[in-house]
């Protein structure tokens, strides 16, 4: 709980940040935010000391505002497109959002809601599922949120490390959902005992699928099943269950690879090393720039332009990758004459995720060639009354992109239920 003095300092900081905003007529910060956060409106409310109203506006626009203010790739969104950045430091609006939204969650009081007696099922309690549950509940729908695990959060709880996203932020959402009247069914694995057909028989008007992508992609290399090779996405779910040893190698170039490396360096034996190996040049790594910099500061090593070819009990065998600039663009060539081995007691594989769970195997819902749910831009699937959004449709994306998609689909579900 934030004390009086901390709150006073936070308010001073909020005003200092707000004072730097140029209040552009066409705010690029809002334009480049996936959920179109009304930055100028929030700045105005802050300057007028209407902080509660500012927090309410942020929550109404993005129920996961408190989360996105922490984990968003701000350099690609609001912060990276602030015009102040052309001559000085961009405005750190995300800090305003973090301070306002975090406090708002802790004392959230729902408005009076008139129920419409229409029942909707939400499968999966990650970013898209939580967003959908909140938005539809506020519209008067009776929402049942079903989750295969015992707690809500999905990737927020089991994929993003505690040092990046404090669990107390995620924990705030359970009482909020309860206050809104959402019924939570934990440890409920859809597609085995319960099917989509069962839900419609029981009177659900619509079903929203938001189960995410928790199945790790395979490298398809020799050694992938040996005892010291693990998948990073699984490691992040319960890092305390793993004995990594002294030296760890992470194969990958994205945010999961970075999260796994940063978690591993906190858990390896004294004097050990954590090394990320990827086949790309440093500037083409897909992970967030800020997180890459933080990983370097924490002591994570990086080896670029190395293609992994075999996983072994004492390390990772790689070959060099050469990059050549041509008129058609960059060309990457593997050089099998330049082989090296990076020593490792444990190896973490982080090359993306795909769909997992029996719900996606339901024959009534069409899938893409990648096994994802085939849904259009408004969330409609091939099965009447079944909608989907988030990573299970797009593949792994950012939290804010999942929220934006879910917001759009929430409007379509509302329209569908009221018209049918």
Strands (E), 290-382: 301-303, 306-312, 315-326, 329-343, 346-349, 353-354
> Among 349, 367, 391, which residue terminates a domain?
349
Tell me, yes or no, whether 310 lies in a domain.
Answer: yes
146 and 69 together in one domain: no
Same domain, 345 and 357: no
Is residue 112 a part of any domain in this protein? no
User: Is 113 inside any structural domain?
Assistant: no
Task: Please enumerate, as own/partner, the contacts of 302-305 that have beta carbons within 8 Å and a separation of 24 or more.
Answer: 302/275, 302/276, 302/278, 303/275, 303/276, 303/277, 303/278, 303/342, 304/278, 304/280, 305/279, 305/280, 305/281
Of 83, 106, 129, which one is at a domain's C-terminal end? 106
Q: Which domain holds residue 373?
A: 119-215+353-419
Whether 32 is in a domain gets the answer yes
Are 11 and 52 in the same domain? Answer: yes
3-state SS class at 264 = helix
Final residue of a structural domain among 311, 326, 349: 349
226: which DSSP letter? S
Q: What are the φ and ψ backbone dihedral angles of 341, each rounded to 5 degrees? A: -125, 130
**Domain identity same for 264 and 193:** no
d(CA 54, CA 100): 7
The set of residues, in sequence order, having a beta carbon less than 8 Å from that of 56 and lying 6+ positions away, is 104
Angstrom CA distances, 321 to 285, 308, 315, 324, 327, stand at 14, 10, 19, 10, 19
Q: Encode the chain (420 residues) as per-residue pLDDT tens digits.
A: 445 446 678 889 999 999 999 999 999 999 999 999 999 999 999 999 999 999 999 999 999 999 999 999 999 999 999 999 999 999 999 999 999 998 899 889 999 999 999 999 999 999 999 999 999 999 999 999 999 999 999 999 999 999 999 999 999 999 999 999 999 999 998 887 888 999 999 999 999 999 999 899 999 999 999 999 999 999 999 999 999 999 999 999 999 999 999 999 999 999 999 999 999 999 999 988 899 999 999 999 999 999 999 999 999 999 999 998 888 888 899 999 999 999 999 999 999 998 876 676 666 799 999 889 999 999 999 999 999 999 999 999 999 999 999 999 999 999 999 998
Spatial CB neighbours of 275, under 8 Å, sequence gap ≥ 6: 247, 248, 249, 250, 300, 301, 302, 303, 342, 344
Q: Judge if 208 and 223 occupy the same domain.
A: no
For position 303, which CATH number holds?
3.50.50.60
- One domain for residues 392 and 338: no
* Neighbour count for residue 36 (Cβ, 10 Å): 15
Count of domains for the chain? 3
My answer on whether 240 and 340 are in the same domain is: yes
> Within 13 Å of residue 224, how many CA atoms lie on the same side as its CB?
15
The answer to whether residues 191 and 262 belong to one domain is no
Q: Is residue 228 part of a domain?
A: yes
Residue 137 φ/ψ, nearest 5 degrees: -65, -40
Q: Are residues 16 and 101 in the same domain?
A: yes
The answer for residues whose C-beta is within 8 angstroms of residue 220's C-beta and 6 or more apart is none
Regarding whether 359 and 337 lie in a shared domain, the answer is: no
Q: Do residues 141 and 208 share a domain?
A: yes
Tell me whether residue 123 is in a domain. yes
Q: Using CA atoms, how far apart are residues 4 and 29, in angstroms rounded to an integer?
A: 31
Q: What is the pTM of this model?
A: 0.93
Same domain assignment for residues 236 and 332: yes
How many CA atoms, within 13 angstroms, populate the side-chain half-sphere of residue 391? 23
């Amino acid at each position: 709980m934030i004390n009086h003095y901390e709150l006073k300092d936070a308010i001073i900081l909020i005003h200092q940040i707000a004072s730097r905003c140029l209040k552009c007529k066409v705010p690029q910060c809002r334009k480049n935010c996936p959920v179109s956060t009304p930055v100028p409106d929030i700045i105005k409310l802050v300057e007028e000391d209407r902080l509660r109203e500012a927090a309410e506006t942020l929550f109404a626009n993005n129920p996961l505002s408190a989360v996105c203010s922490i984990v968003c790739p701000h350099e690609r969104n609001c912060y990276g497109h602030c015009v102040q950045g052309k001559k000085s430091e961009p405005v750190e609006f995300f800090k305003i959002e973090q301070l306002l939204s975090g406090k708002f969650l802790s004392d959230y009081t729902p408005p009076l809601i008139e129920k419409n007696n229409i029942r909707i099922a939400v499968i999966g309690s990650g970013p898209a599922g939580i967003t959908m549950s909140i938005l539809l509940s506020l519209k008067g729908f009776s929402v049942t949120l079903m989750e295969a695990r015992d707690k809500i959060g999905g990737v927020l709880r089991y994929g993003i490390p505690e040092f990046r996203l404090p669990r107390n932020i995620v924990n705030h959402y359970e009482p909020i959902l309860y206050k809104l009247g959402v019924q939570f069914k934990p440890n409920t694995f859809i597609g085995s005992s319960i099917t989509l057909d069962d839900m419609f028989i029981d009177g659900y008007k619509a079903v929203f699928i938001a189960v995410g992508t928790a199945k790790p992609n395979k490298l398809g290399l020799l050694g992938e099943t040996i005892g010291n090779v693990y998948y990073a996405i699984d490691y992040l779910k319960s890092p305390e269950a793993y004995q990594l040893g002294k030296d760890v190698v992470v194969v990958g170039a994205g945010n999961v690879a970075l999260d796994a490396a940063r978690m591993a360096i906190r858990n390896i034996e004294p004097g050990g090393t954590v090394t990320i190996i990827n086949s790309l040049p440093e500037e083409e790594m897909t992970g967030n720039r800020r997180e890459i910099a933080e990983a370097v500061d924490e002591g994570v090593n990086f080896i670029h332009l190395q293609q992994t070819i075999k996983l072994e009990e004492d390390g990772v065998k790689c070959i060099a990758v050469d990059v050549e600039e041509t008129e058609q663009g960059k060309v990457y060539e593997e050089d099998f004459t330049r082989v090296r081995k990076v020593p490792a007691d444990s190896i973490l594989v982080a090359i993306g995720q795909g769909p997992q769970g029996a719900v996606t195997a339901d024959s009534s819902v069409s899938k893409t060639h990648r096994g994802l749910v085939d849904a259009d831009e408004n969330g409609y699937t091939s099965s009447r009354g079944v909608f989907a959004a988030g990573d299970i449709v797009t593949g792994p994306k950012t939290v804010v992109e999942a929220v934006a998609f879910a917001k759009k689909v929430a409007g379509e579900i509302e329209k569908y239920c009221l018209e049918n």
